[in-house]
């Protein structure tokens, strides 16, 4: 039986947003910096919980808690201590960490003292080193030697490759564990050295608690950063060649968190609890289930160092919701799919106003099943690192309503339109209503450009005196202002919310002597959204040989193709570029026929077309059992039209 989840306030439609914009942005008294935002949140009630952290999902009801006053003091100590380490406004502090309270201290303290670079801990050592070198990193913060993780070992190797690193700071999970468990767990590891000698160059290694010990906690001892200064730098796009590092200002991050809160002020009320299960190198975890909550005086429930992947998180998910009265959480489609089988009986989950989804398309069947079973609305949105985190969101107002499959309405005080580009990718004109174009955004959340200047070519447009950024994503905007994604011009493969640049696959596979041309795309998958597969031209090669070659040469483990398909000729455009939509049609057809065969269902007719408004559409007529096929394919994100 569904429980009631009443949603109140916020915007009902685009007209509400336009009306709200009649008050200029600078009249809303936003904090100037992320540090100021934390101070404002702490001032509401310094004794209120700011972070509730537990190492295992089984211990959700025994958290270690930091109040807003305590968190602000730790952040301030971190900033002052880093300044004493020689970190100036333009110096970079990088972190390779799991989700820990210290991770928040490093993010906000580091961005007050200098610039912070977030690194995905799952990357290989050479990938991490490449990013640290590109940012000219001065201080590296990582996990001390800890059983069941190789972060310390990877970072030791990284220091050999990054001569700019002058200090290493280590954090520990042991201090957040109960005494007996911590001592037993720590005994499995070895203590880290006080210095690393790299090519006879001693690099100090300092524990985080020693770093901040004795540092001033009540105020910054240096001139505070400005709104226009860089706060964080996140990595996006490919991980081979020149890395894409996106610097964001304090003002952009504060604005985006504030703008998201305007869609549903209930999630930004003092004292509310928001669950963070996404990794803290990701924009969503940093801003939507991080800064937004902290600047509003709320409580970030930090669920284990591994987030959703942590021990006992999913089995106890609804208990966590009931215990903390969680108001919202963010997740990719696989998170929502995993929650179906988690018991809810006897638990009160009515505190949840909505679940947010934006990293990957949500299959309609999954969307409907989740809402029907839990009574919790799913709010889909859209954003990218270069735009802080979000650019559009579905409304949650009772007089408005989310449009299933839509990425919602634009944020207030941020412009978002679809543009028709010429063959050379230059701006040609604005798209008409319901005409597909590339999404362009302009506003206070948009970054100034990648750290490597050459990567900004063709990324920005000057249109009628305004600067617009091209997202590379294809969409249409309907007459009510809602945006509908139709494809991704930039061709990223999204596997369980993890972005994979097909270039890292293609560049590696092109080094195989038997391959003359290769194209990587995402195969639709009911569990993780997409899986990487490779289409190629060249010699007849065994799948086993190609799989072994890929495992040794594709730099990112998640990007290793799951299948290899040889074609006599890859489809190309009139100018000789590989036409990936044709390959996507082949993959969708392959998936549909495989699902039908698995269910012993007969297909009477199947045709794949490119619709001007919806992208690729499968037109399907079954011999029988249309309803069963509709249910099966509803778990995928591609479009299907069923014909009698």
pLDDT digits (tens, 9 = 90+) for 426-471: 999 999 999 989 999 999 999 999 998 888 888 899 999 999 999 9
> What's the rounded Cα separation, in Å, for the pair 136 and 610?
45
pLDDT digits (tens, 9 = 90+) for 520-557: 999 999 888 899 999 998 899 999 999 999 999 997 88
> What's the rounded Cα separation, in Å, for the pair 141 and 95?
5
Identify the pLDDT of residue 196. 59
Q: Are 141 and 111 in contact (CB under 8 A)?
A: no
Calculate what percentage of the chain has a pLDDT beyond 70.
Answer: 91
Identify the pLDDT of residue 581. 84
Q: Are 452 and 242 in contact (CB under 8 A)?
A: yes
193 phi and psi angles, rounded to 5 deg: -70, 165
Identify the pLDDT of residue 529. 86
> What's the rounded Cα separation, in Å, for the pair 347 and 158?
46
- Please name the residue ranges forming H helices in 354-500: 364-374
What is the rounded average pLDDT of the residues 384-409?
89
* Fold agreement (14-393, 414-488): no
Q: What is the CA radius of gyration of the chain?
A: 25
Weakest-pLDDT range from 58-62, 69-73, 435-439 = 435-439
Burial grade of 213 (CB within 10 A; 0-12, 13-18, 19 or more): exposed
Residue 84 has pLDDT above 80, yes or no: yes
Residue 573 has pLDDT above 70, yes or no: no
> What's the rounded Cα separation, in Å, for the pair 452 and 467?
19
Q: Are 320 and 265 in contact (CB under 8 A)?
A: no
Pick the CATH number of 14-393 from 3.40.50.12780, 3.30.479.30, 3.30.1950.10, 1.10.10.1100: 3.40.50.12780
Bridging pattern class, strands 415-421 and 437-442: antiparallel
pLDDT tier at 1 (50, 70, 90 boundaries)? very low
Q: Are 500 and 359 in contact (CB under 8 A)?
A: no
> What's the rounded Cα separation, in Å, for the pair 333 and 358?
9
425 phi and psi angles, rounded to 5 deg: 70, 15
Pick the CATH number of 414-488 from 2.30.38.10, 1.10.3470.10, 3.40.640.10, 3.90.1530.30: 2.30.38.10
> What's the rounded Cα separation, in Å, for the pair 99 and 427?
41
Residue 607 has pLDDT above 90, yes or no: yes
Residue 507 has pLDDT above 80, yes or no: yes
Residue 281 has pLDDT above 90, yes or no: yes
Q: What is the largest CA-CA distance in the chain?
A: 75
Q: Across 238-247, 365-374, 571-580, which has the greatest mean pLDDT?
A: 365-374
Give strand pairing partners of 273. Answer: 299, 326
Identify the pLDDT of residue 413. 98
Which of 361 and 217 is assigned the larger pLDDT? Answer: 217
> What's the rounded Cα separation, in Å, for the pair 151 and 608?
45
Look over the chain and give the mean of its residue pLDDT values, rounded to a whole number: 89
> What's the rounded Cα separation, in Å, for the pair 509 and 517?
9
Residue 499 has pLDDT above 80, yes or no: no
Helix (H) or strand (E) holding 529: strand 529-538
Pick the CATH number of 505-642 from 1.10.1040.10, 3.30.70.20, 3.30.300.30, 3.40.190.10: 3.30.300.30
Weakest-pLDDT range from 270-284, 430-444, 478-492, 538-552 = 478-492
Domain assignments of the chain as residue spans, ordered by start? 14-393, 414-488, 505-642
Q: Are 565 and 587 in contact (CB under 8 A)?
A: no
pLDDT tier at 560 (50, 70, 90 boundaries)? very high
What is the rounded average pLDDT of the residues 4-26?
82
Identify the pLDDT of residue 385. 93
Weakest-pLDDT range from 46-50, 358-362, 583-587 = 358-362
Helix (H) or strand (E) holding 361: none
Q: Are 408 and 393 in contact (CB under 8 A)?
A: yes
Closest CA to 122 of 239, 231, 241: 239
What is the rounded average pLDDT of the residues 473-488?
89
């Amino acid at each position: 039986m569904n429980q009631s989840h009443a949603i109140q306030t916020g915007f009902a439609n685009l007209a509400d947003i336009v009306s709200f914009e009649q008050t200029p942005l600078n009249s809303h008294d936003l904090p100037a910096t992320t540090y100021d935002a934390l101070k404002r949140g702490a001032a509401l009630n310094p004794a209120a919980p700011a972070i509730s952290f537990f190492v295992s999902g089984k211990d959700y009801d025994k958290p270690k808690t930091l109040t807003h006053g305590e968190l602000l003091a730790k952040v301030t100590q971190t900033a002052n201590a880093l300044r004493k380490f020689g970190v100036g406004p333009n110096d970079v502090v990088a972190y390779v960490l799991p989700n820990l309270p210290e991770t928040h201290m490093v993010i906000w303290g580091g961005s007050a003292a200098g610039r912070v670079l977030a690194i995905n801990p799952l990357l290989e050592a050479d990938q991490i080193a490449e990013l640290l070198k590109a940012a000219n990193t001065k201080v590296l913060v990582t996990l001390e030697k800890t059983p069941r993780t190789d972060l310390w070992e990877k970072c030791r190797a990284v220091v050999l490759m990054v001569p700019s690193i002058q200090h290493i700071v280590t954090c520990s999970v042991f201090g957040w564990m109960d005494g007996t468990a911590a001592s037993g767990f720590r005994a499995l590891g070895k203590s880290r050295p006080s210095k690393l000698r790299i090519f006879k160059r001693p690099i100090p290694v300092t524990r985080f608690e020693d770093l901040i010990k004795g540092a001033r906690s009540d105020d910054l001892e240096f001139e505070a950063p400005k709104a226009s200064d860089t706060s964080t730098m996140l990595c996006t796009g490919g991980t081979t060649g020149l890395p894409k590092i996106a610097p964001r200002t304090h003002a952009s991050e504060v604005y985006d968190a504030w703008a998201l809160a305007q869609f549903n002020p209930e999630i930004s009320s003092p004292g509310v609890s928001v669950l963070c299960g996404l990794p803290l190198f990701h924009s969503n975890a940093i801003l939507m289930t991080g800064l937004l909550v902290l600047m509003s005086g709320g409580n970030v429930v930090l669920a284990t160092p591994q987030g959703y992947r942590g021990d006992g998180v999913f089995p106890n998910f609804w208990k966590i919701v009931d215990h903390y009265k969680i108001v919202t959480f963010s997740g990719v489609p696989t998170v929502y799919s995993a929650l179906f089988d988690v018991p809810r009986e006897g638990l009160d989950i009515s505190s949840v106003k909505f679940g947010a989804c934006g990293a990957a398309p949500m299959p309609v069947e999954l969307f409907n099943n989740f809402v029907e079973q839990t009574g919790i609305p799913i709010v889909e949105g859209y954003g990218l690192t270069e735009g802080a985190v979000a650019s559009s969101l579905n409304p949650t107002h009772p007089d408005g309503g989310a449009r299933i499959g839509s990425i919602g309405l634009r944020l207030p005080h941020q412009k978002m339109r679809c543009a028709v580009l010429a063959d050379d990718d230059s701006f040609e004109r604005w798209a008409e209503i319901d005409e597909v174009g590339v999404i362009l955004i302009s506003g206070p959340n948009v970054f100034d450009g990648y750290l490597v200047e050459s990567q900004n070519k063709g990324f920005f447009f000057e249109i009628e005196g305004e600067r617009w950024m091209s997202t590379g994503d294809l969409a249409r905007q309907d007459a009510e202002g809602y945006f509908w994604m139709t494809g991704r011009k930039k061709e990223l493969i999204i596997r369980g919310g993890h972005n994979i640049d097909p270039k890292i696959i293609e560049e590696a596979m092109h080094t195989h002597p038997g391959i003359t041309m290769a194209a990587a795309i995402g195969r639709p998958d009911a569990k993780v959204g997409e899986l990487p597969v490779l289409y190629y031209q060249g010699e007849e090669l065994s799948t086993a040989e190609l799989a072994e070659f890929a495992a040794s040469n594709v730099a990112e483990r998640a990007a290793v193709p799951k299948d290899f398909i040889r074609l006599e000729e890859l489809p190309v455009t009139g100018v000789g570029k590989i036409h990936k939509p044709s390959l996507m049609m082949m993959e969708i057809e392959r998936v549909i026929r495989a699902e039908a065969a698995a269910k012993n269902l007969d297909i009477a007719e199947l045709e794949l077309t490119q619709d001007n408004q919806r992208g690729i559409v499968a037109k399907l007529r079954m011999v029988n059992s249309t309803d069963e096929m509709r249910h099966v394919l509803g778990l995928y994100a591609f479009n299907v039209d069923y014909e009698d």
